Structure 1
Amino acid sequence: MAKIKKKGTTGQAKNFITRTQAVRKLQISLPDFRRLCIYKGIYPREPRNKKKASKTSTPSTTFYYTKDIQYLLHEPILHKFRDHKALAKKIARSLGRGEVGDAARLEKTGRPRISLDHVIKERYPTFVDALRDLDDALSLLFLFANLPSTQTVPPKTIALCQRLCSEFQHYLIITHSLRKSFISIKGIYYQATIQGQDILWLVPHKFVQKVTGDVDFRIMGTFVDFYTTLLGFVNYRLYTSIGLVYPPKFNVNSDEKGGELDAFKLESSGIEAIASIEGQANGHVDSKQEAGQTNGHVGSEQEKGQEVEQSDAQRHADEIGRLIAADPNDDRDDQIMQDEAPTDIIDEFVVQGEGADVLDQPRQSDSEAGTLFAPYSFFLSRETPRQPLEFILRAFGCKRVSWDEVLGDGAFTHDEFDPSITHQVVDRPPVIQDESIQDETATEGDHMESDAVSKPARSGRMPGRTYIQPQWIWDCINQGKLLRADLYAPGATLPPHLSPWVKPTKNTYDPTVPLADQENSEEEEVEAEGLVDDDDDPAQVGLDEDMDSINDHGMDVAGAAESEDLSVDEEFGGFASDEAPDEGAAVEEDDDRTDYQRELEAEAAGLPYTIVGSAAAAASSSSKGGVAKKAARKRQEDEEELERRKIMMPKKKRKLYEKMAYSNKGKDEEARKLRGKRRRLEKV
């Protein structure tokens, strides 16, 4: 006789465990169980059959894997939770006895500290695994770095998040790892490439955040504790890989003055081999030279000496290169230039044919991305967002970023009229200038001779300087090249700011392509005949005039009215009289009869009717009706052919095709509406 199986010992009942059973098995409270699951990365699971997985008559709602809970039994953090519980009992006993001093001493010195170092090593066995999971960590830490301090969000947590985020930004600035950015309503998106891994995170705008009470900051604080430990490990590995000391020195006085990024002073660790290998592999500039200069400032004398030091081999190679370049008559120059010609030129994939797929273009090299703004000097006006602009400009090679003194410390210069500034970022309407102050036709020598011209009034502009709006910087880095500055001049209508991660696909609206290249044949015919109404969709044009396309038994109100009006006009010749009738009165009488006839036909068809009362409207409707009928007839034939093909398809494939057609129809409708909206704007 086979052994009788006991209920709840096999199958899903054995593989899953409820949350209540897990808390009882671990002998901890529910909040501690939540913290432990967040630290270890254990999440609820959904069984196939809740009724079979539950050991009670009422199916539970939250299940976990039994093996995961069994794994938590050997976690060292459990002992810290139990020590904290024992400490709470001691503090309660001391308060009950009236020993307030002992309770304060126990709370200050006896609190157990939870270390998450071993958890980071367990969850991320390799450094690449940590980089792949850095998206959510950066988004949450940048969010807490911008929150105001409250009872639920202590100031220490905010300061820690700010420090870790600034250290990560400094690494991106030195290695030029930032690739793309996009401004949205939620905030500013950034994407960086570190060791081949794309990291995307969101930074909120610099506004005063209002902390609401419907957010559980205890759970978010648990994630912050874990992510701060993770980012600390990542920053240490990134800094040491390029030969920098971690953590960098922090200047409190500069931070209090609003220096932010300038408050950190990076130092070289003296490991030249790692830094040189890293720079040669990624095409980066020497990290020591970058670390010694922060926004154009020169470092100490020791750092200058380190910059001057070079190996003999490197010095010898540089000397040979200078000798070869200095001899213009040597025949070997051409051969050397051909042999040493740059072979890392990026090839572009050209689309072959109309229906071919658009291939992703190769990415920009690190050296090109790091020198996009290197030759220029920028000045940020007071109304522009200083923090993101400074970070982006410095990450793309700009060494001289200036701003007004009220925006904080750390600028290259606070003088707005410094002649070395080439670009000024402005986000306000243009100011009418006085012609006597600035002369557009003056030469450069004339500007240097007169102080009134070289330093105009506060409301004027500096000659020879390019004034742009902030969007120009974002669009330049997303496209990997410098765009036309006149399109982003102050007061100009800016081009659309598009997401660099959304690639245009077939049959979708692309704002960068001219409207004529996106319209289909039907829309082109309608546009050529002038049938597009400002309030109607191009696909719906002619449906009111052509009722046959909507209902097979309906009436063509416009066509029937016109035909019957003509027949009435031809048959009715008026009453015979000795005097000739007035032509104007006859025309008005005919128009009244036409309107009355159309109103009766529209009422019989159950449609609203608006009296036009002019022959021009009738002629226009007749011309519209011809093209609309032709388009509707073509659509009807295509639908009939499609239905015939669908009949021959299997049921499974037919349902799949219907789902695809439904989604494609929605996309086409959305693209058609966007094209119609753009068409109306271009008409205005």
Structure 2
Amino acid sequence: QGKAGNAAQYITRTQAVRKLQLRLSEFRRLCILKGVHPREPKKKPKGANKTYYHAKDINWLAHEPLLNTFRNIKAHEKKVRKARAKQNADLAKRLMHLKPTYRLDHLVKERYPSFVDALRDLDDALTMVHLFATLPAESKYDIPPKAVHTSRRLALEWQAYIVRSGSLRRVFVSVKGYYFQAEVLGQSVTWLVPHALSQVLPTDVDYKVMLTFLEFYNTLLQFVNFKLYHVLGLRYPPLLDPRLEEAAAELAGIMKAKAATEANGDAAPAVDDAKMRARIESLQSRLREIVGVEEKDEGEEGAEPEDKDEEDSEADDDGDDAPVLDSGTLGPSVDPNDEGSVCRNLFRGLVFFLGREVPREPLMLIIRSFGGVAAWDGEGSPHSEMSEEVTHQVVDRPRQGHRFLSREYVQPQWVFDSANFRVLMATDLYAPGLVPPPHLSPFVGEGDDDGYTPDFAKTVRRLQVRAVSG
């Protein structure tokens, strides 16, 4: 008895803590770093209210080098407490600088033998890092400023890589934040970025457990960023302009090296402005035609099918007369079947000016990932609001006072929808003060929800087919 079956294969958490000679908090931390999870045996020999671990996992933890480090930290904390109890402040201060340190590099290599394995498990890491990048450093909850600053730096480095590589594919805005999905070396990576609002920390959350996860995720993301930057032949870590950091334009500051490289002639040549304007006007006119045909069909339910065919043929004839580049929506050098090329060139030749009321960082990430130029009112902006090169101004106000006739005024949703649908949507549907069309999720395929497809999705699909066919 106790030498075979579940009794020998599984042990309780209390038994594991005693075997490893650790405190419960240290045991929990070690399990998080090593990736060891509780198990659910079919038969629970010690009771149903116990937490069980596999005996082989605990034996594996017993050989972890971090065990000695945790014990040294425990002994060091005991010395500090004694010094403070004796009111020896100088000794306590010296001991604090001699606290044992450790690295988690070997754990990353152990848990992810190949780089592709790390990319597949990057969703939670990116979400956690972007979450702590927006949290305040609260000593009440033991959130150190260094953890927040490191998370912010790693999040900016990841976003800078996404822009440089043109890997962004989908974005969706919800009450939780911004969902992004990128295609990195053939792997789909999805992460959540919270809204840039004042965060109120709840009291019923164990932040020590979250900080343990964050500690490992920061190390993992440093490895991933290092590898991805070297694949592109870029310097890591990238340089950050301190002036732009103080002006809350960190993403622009971390992208400054790329702008200098493009100025030296390494960037792809931009499409001619006249052709780009013609492309925008043609796509917008096509969307208006499709919407107008649908409204007319709804109003005339008794019309004969021949009339509808004539209207479609007329619309097609009008579309053929519109100035469109060779490959439909993206110019002669872009293959419409190559999703990466389509995404990298969707906004090429367009200059966006972002108003102060719109979320600058998510919009800048999308615009630059899809080949556009983002400007704003502040330090580091490539263009001012009065610049004649601005083609679109993104605003989120009920009214727009002064207007430039040479540019389009759109709401932020126009940028999101255009990126998701891979076509430039009609700007008059997203004009300031109007209720924009429904923001459809790009993560739901056509007919995934019991065969239901929203009407606006059908309209956009027709625009995509006509734009690609030219």
> So what's the TM-score if we normalise by structure 1?
0.55
Structure 1 unaligned residues grouped into runs of 5+: 1-6, 268-289, 299-303, 309-340, 347-363, 432-458, 516-684
Partner SS, residue 262 of structure 1: helix
Partner of 1:403: 376
Contact 1:169 1:391 in 2 (8 A): yes
Matched, 1:510 2:456: no
Rounded Cα–Cα distance in structure 2 between residues aligned with 1:470 and 1:307: 30
CA distance in structure 2 between the aligned counterparts of 1:189 and 1:427, rounded to whole angstroms: 20
Distance 2:450 2:216 in 1: 45
Cα deviation 1:1-41 (Å, max 9, x = unaligned): xxxxxx21110000001000000000011000000000000
| Aligned equivalents of 1:250, 1:345: Cα separation in 2 | 36
Q: Paired residue for 1:424?
A: 393
SS in structure 2 of the partner of residue 189 of structure 1: strand
What CA distance in whole angstroms lies between the structure 2 residues aligned with 1:157 and 1:13? 41
The structure 2 residue matched to 1:466, chosen from 398, 408, 418, is 408
Note the C-alpha offset of 1:344: 5.3
Query: CA shift at 1:508, angstroms?
Result: 4.5
Give the secondary structure class of the aligned counterpart of 2:15. Answer: helix
Distance 1:32 1:291 in 2: 46
Cα distance between partner residues in 2 of 1:233 and 1:292: 26
Q: How many residues align?
A: 391
Q: Deviations over 1:474-526 (max 9, x none)?
A: 111111111111111112221110111112237454322699xxxxxxxxxxx
One-letter amino acid matched to 2:369: A
Q: Which residue of 2 aligns with 1:103?
A: 92
Matches within 5 A, 1:579-658: none
- Say if 1:266 and 1:79 are closer, same or farther in 2 by CA, change over 3 A: farther
Cα shift at 1:365: 2.4
Find the residue that maps to 1:250 and give its secondary structure.
coil
Q: Does 1:412 align with 2:400?
A: no
- Write out per-residue CA displacement over residues 312-357 of structure 1, whole angstroms, 9 at most, x where no aligned residue: xxxxxxxxxxxxxxxxxxxxxxxxxxxxx989552xxxxxxxxxxx
> Does structure 1 residue 77 correspond to structure 2 residue 66?
yes
Structure 1 residues 293 and 424, CA, compared in 2 at 3 Å: closer, same or farther? farther
Q: Distance in 1 between matches of 2:430 and 2:336?
A: 29
Task: Give the distance between the partners of 1:135 and 1:184, measured in 2 at CA.
Answer: 17
Q: CA deviation at 1:460?
A: 2.4
Distance 1:153 1:137 in 2: 17
Counterpart among 14, 26, 31 of residue 32 in structure 1: 26
Query: Cα RMSD (Å) of the superposition?
Result: 2.1
Q: Distance in 2 between matches of 1:45 and 1:430?
A: 58
Alpha-carbon distance in structure 2 between the residues aligned to 1:419 and 1:266: 23
Residue 120 of structure 2: which of 118, 121, 132 is its match?
Answer: 132
1:165 equivalent in alignment to 2:158: no
Offset at 1:46?
Answer: 0.4
In structure 1, the partner of 2:365 is 391
Correspondence for 1:68? 57
Map 1:319-334 to 2 at 5 A.
none
What amino acid sits opposite 2:53 in the alignment?
Y
What code does the residue aligned with 1:292 have? A
Quote the offset at 1:192 in angstroms: 0.2
Counterparts of 2:442 and 2:223 in 1: how far apart (Å)? Answer: 30
**Compared CA separation, residues 192 and 126, structure 1 to 2 (3 A):** same
- Does the CA contact (< 8 Å) of 2:120 and 2:189 recur in 1? yes
Structure with bigger gyration radius: 1
* Greater Cα offset, 162-171 or 504-513: 504-513
- Classify the secondary structure of the residue corresponding to 2:363: helix
Q: Does 1:20 align with 2:11?
A: no
Per-residue CA deviations over 1:593-629 (Å, capped at 9, x if unaligned) read xxxxxxxxxxxxxxxxxxxxxxxxxxxxxxxxxxxxx
Aligned to 2:36: 42
Instruction: Indicate how the Cα distance of structure 1 residues 125 and 66 shifts in structure 2: closer, same or farther if over 3 A, else same.
Output: same
1:258 equivalent in structure 2:
248
Contact 1:174 1:291 (C-alpha < 8 Å) held by counterparts: no
Q: Structure 2-normalised TM-score?
A: 0.79
Map of 2:133 onto structure 1: 145
Does structure 1 residue 292 correspond to structure 2 residue 297? no
Matching residue of 2:300: none
> What is residue 324 of structure 2 aligned with on the other side?
none
Contact 2:334 2:342 in 1 (8 A): no
State whether residues 170 and 180 of structure 2, in contact with CA within 8 Å, keep that contact through their aligned partners in structure 1: yes
What does residue 10 of structure 1 align with? 4
Indicate how the Cα distance of structure 1 residues 513 and 161 shifts in structure 2: closer, same or farther if over 3 A, else same.
closer
1:402 partner amino acid: A
Return the alpha-carbon distance in structure 2 between the equivalents of residues 153 and 259 of structure 1.
24
The one-letter amino acid of 1:23's match is V
Amino-acid identity (%)? 46
Within 5 Å, give how 1:361-372 maps onto structure 2.
364-372=338-346
The Cα of 1:380 is off from its aligned counterpart by: 0.9
Question: Any gaps of 5 or more consecutive residues in structure 2?
Answer: 268-331, 459-470
Partner of 1:539: none
Whether the aligned pair in 2 keeps the contact of 1:496 and 1:511 (CA below 8 Å) is: no
> How many Å separate the matches in 2 of 1:500 and 1:368?
16
- Check 1:514–1:137 CA distance in 2 against 1; reply closer, same or farther (3 A cut): closer
CA distance in 1, matches of 2:17, 2:10: 14
Residue identity in the other structure for 1:77: L
Contact conserved, 2:437 with 2:456, CA < 8 A, in 1? no
| SS of aligned partner of 1:17 | strand
Following TM superposition, by how much is the alpha carbon of 1:171 offset from its aligned partner in structure 2, in angstroms? 0.5
Question: Structure 1, residues 517-537: CA drift from partner, whole Å, max 9, x if none?
Answer: xxxxxxxxxxxxxxxxxxxxx
Q: Which of 123, 136, 150 is equivalent to 2:111?
A: 123
Distance 2:340 2:188 in 1: 14
The answer on whether the counterparts of 1:182 and 1:474 sit within 8 Å (CA) in structure 2 is yes
Q: CA separation of 1:89/1:342 partners in 2, compared to 1, >3 Å: closer, same or farther?
A: closer
1:472 alignment partner AA = W
Counterpart in the other structure of 2:81: 92
1:143-542 matches, cutoff 5 A? 143-151=131-139, 152-264=142-254, 290=258, 292-293=260-261, 298=263, 304=264, 307=266, 345-346=336-337, 364-398=338-372, 400-405=373-378, 409-413=379-383, 415-431=384-400, 459-503=401-445, 504-505=447-448, 507-512=450-455
